[in-house]
A and B are shown apart, each in its own frame.
Chain A
Amino acid sequence: MTDWLFLAEVCLAGIGAGALYALTGVAFVLIYKATRVVNLAIGEILMLGGYAFLGFAAGWGLPAWAALPLAVLCGGLFGAVVERTLIRPMLGESPISVFMVTVGLGSMLVGAVELGWGADPLRLPEFVPNRPVFIGEAYLAPKVAYGFVAASLVIAAFVLAFRFSRSGVALRATAGDQGAAYSVGIDVPRVFSLAWTAACATAAGAGVLVGSIGGISPTMGVFGLSVLVVVIVGGLDSIMGALVGGLLVGLIEALAGAFLGGEYKLLATFGLLILILMLRPYGLFGTHEIERL
């Protein structure tokens, strides 16, 4: 007999984790849409956000409501600096080179964090209320539940901003056709910078949420690998895809972890990745680019 309550709890936890994947996936897609850069350092920027929060909350003794925005701000600033110093000079280079630049950036971040805080995993100070949450009868860890709510709010804000704000429209125009965007007076370099800033700020925020659930360590960047699967499954340039992919990957990881064992988690996600790449190489919702000579 299947234990339905257990299944429901596992699914809920999976969806909760999936929301964080979706949030990071949105950050990833934002960068890809605007600048066509596959940013493998997204997991490390997440980690940076977690450590920045730790630095503000534990190091400076700031309360969580002040440390969280500061960590997000740090992430945004970092994104702007990276875009200006590392990504801008690579404009027009092959996508692989830019991809490798982000790989190198990730390595530098890991080293810097290890130098600053040591290689051991650390716990973030508690800032989420820890009264258990029940949905129907199923128990859900409060951190996961609040993480889900926060991620949903941010994603909703992003979707609205894309649709209605001036910068959002400029970003969509740049994604559609850079040359055309230039000619109607959109400042494309500014859009690039904005996309990196917003994406890295989001990733840093997601890092605080992820860190509050599982603790932070220099190897947290592995989270970025799962995010990579999320965006490939959803389609690299689709916000909708990041949402669906995030929830799907979160669910699959939770189910594989609960019913097969922890070591099957990565195997399940990457199995899904290979499957999707074989069936729909451009992802569930991605644009199928047609190549011409």
Chain B
Amino acid sequence: MRIATLKTSYAGDEALFDTKLQRSLLALFGLVLAVFPFVAGPYWLFMACLVAINVASATGLNILTGYTGLVSLGQAAFMGVGAYTVAILELRVGTPFPVNLLAAGATTALVGAVVGLPSLRVKGLYLAIATIGASVILHFVFANWSLTGEARGLSMPPARLFGNDLDQPFELYWVIVPITAAMILGAANLFRTRIGRAFIAIRDRDISAEVLGIPLLRYKLTSFAISSFYAGVAGGLWAYFFRVVTPESFPLINSIFYLAAIIVGGMGTILGGILGAAFMTMVPEVLKLVVGWFSPYFPDALAALAPIRTIVFGALIVGFLIFEPQGLAEIWARVRRFFHLWPFKT
């Protein structure tokens, strides 16, 4: 049992990771991430990259929805903006890929801020529906603009770093995972600053926040911009990972996927975004495995895979909202509490 955590300095109290155990576990996790690509096969590396991209995007949505309380169903469309920016810069301009990723983030942040404009007049579900509208319009632009390759989309060359083509999951892993880690760290730190605290105040009660002297428009748009920046960078990574960007790559269902990921993971916690995105990305793969076991007995089991995934996806959203509204992060916190208090019970 942990007796107490005595803090003797302000720095200690404000620290992101406050116990020694937490820091050592984190170091261990970092080590595992570094060793992982050398021991895992190509399939697992592929999945790891995909999880990392989704984690980055879900963390961005968590900043907007979980911390600022503005529900958005446009995350996938924002990722599309990032992916197209990267693809266009790569094909037309040929700038190096770190620049492209930053440009993708910046462009998407700008688009996000514009989409966020209605957020001052409408909120809650109205805002969610306005973002659906924005993503329909963005989708239309992707599919009909000559610059974005219309319905055919764009195929792009692999990213280049120090003269090497990054076209294998093994190589991309070293780009995607560190960037995602940096973005998560940035998000965690954001909520120790004035801006992040202002977001939380707006979530809890926007009128009260305004009374306290937080300019709503500026902070709501900042939240949209930061969240879209995350989506843009994640979209850029996505573009480098798959190297084909089409209008169908970012349908509305993907926006629902990211919202579902932060609900399942736990809204308003950084850990929640990570756990949720990883969980929701892996569930379809686990289902594939399970259905694979049954295929010798039911010949058309594989045909049923897609609908089963859809059903499980919906059931996870509903189940978590009804039975575990705080999400996976809360389950994790409960496990931690159990060990902290052991042999006593909560």
A-to-B contact residues, CB < 8 Å: 38, 86, 89-90, 93, 95-97, 99-101, 103-112, 114-115, 119, 225, 228-229, 232, 263-264, 266-267, 270-271, 273-274, 277-278, 281, 291, 293
Task: Considering the complex, give the chain B residue whose CB is closest to the CB of A231.
Answer: B129
Q: Are B311 and A232 in contact (CB under 8 A)?
A: no
| Cα A114 to Cα B308 with chains together (Å) | 9
Residues of chain A within 8 A of B317, CB atoms compared: 100-101, 103-104, 107
A selection of 9 A-B contacts at a CB cut-off of 8 Å is: A95-B125, A96-B128, A101-B318, A104-B318, A107-B256, A111-B308, A263-B143, A270-B133, A271-B133
Q: What's the minimum C-beta distance from A112 to chain B, rounded to whole angstroms?
A: 6
Q: Which residues of A contact B49 (CB under 8 A)?
A: none
CA distance A50 to B317 in the complex (A): 25
Bound: A111/B308 CA distance, A: 6
Give the distance to chain A from B58, nearest Cβ to Cβ, in Å.
15
**CB-contact partner of A99 in B128, B205, B208, B307, under 8 A:** B128
Chain A nearest CB, measured from B71 CB (Å): 5
Q: Indicate if B254 sits at the interface (CB-CB under 8 A).
A: no
Q: Which residue of A lies closest to B141 (CB)?
A: A267
With a cutoff of 8 Å between Cβ atoms, the chain B residues found around residue A277 in the complex are 118, 121-122, 126, 129-130, 133
Grouping DSSP codes into helix (H, G, I), strand (E, B) and loop, the B interface class, with mixed when no group exceeds half, is: helix
- The answer to whether residues A108 and B311 also contact, given A93-B325, A274-B133, A293-B205 and a CB cut-off of 8 A, is yes
B: contact size bracket: 35 or more
Number of A-B residue pairs with CB-CB distance less than 8 Å in the complex they form: 127
Are A225 and B132 in touch, CB under 8 angstroms? yes
Q: Does B134 contact A (CB under 8 A)?
A: yes
The 8 closest A-B pairs by CB, nearest first: A107-B314, A104-B317, A111-B310, A111-B311, A108-B314, A114-B307, A104-B318, A270-B133
User: Within 8 Å of chain A (Cβ to Cβ): is B259?
Assistant: yes
Is A111 within 8 A of B307, CB to CB?
yes
Q: A105 and B136: CB pair below 8 A?
A: no
* Distance between A87 CB and nearest chain B CB, rounded to angstroms: 10
Interfacial chain B residues near A96, Cβ < 8 Å:
71, 124-125, 128
- Is the Cβ of B263 less than 8 Å from the Cβ of A107? no
Asked if A105 contacts B122 (CB within 8 A), the reply is no
* Bound Cα distance from A117 to B290, whole angstroms: 22
- Contact partner of A106 (CB less than 8 A), chosen from B125, B259, B314, is B314
Task: Enumerate B288-340 residues with CB–CB distance to A below 8 Å.
Answer: 304, 306-318, 321-322, 325
Cβ–Cβ < 8 Å partners of A229 in chain B: 133
For B137, the chain A residues whose CB sits under 8 A away are 267, 270-271, 274
B27: interface (CB < 8 Å): no
Q: Known A-B contacts: A86-B318, A109-B314. Give 15 more (CB < 8 A).
A: A95-B124, A96-B128, A99-B125, A103-B256, A105-B314, A106-B314, A107-B256, A111-B311, A111-B312, A119-B306, A228-B129, A273-B129, A277-B130, A278-B121, A293-B208
Given known A90-B322, A293-B207, contact A100–B263 (CB-CB < 8 A): yes
Give CA–CA (A62, B122) in the complex, Å: 48
B144 at the interface (CB under 8 A from A): yes
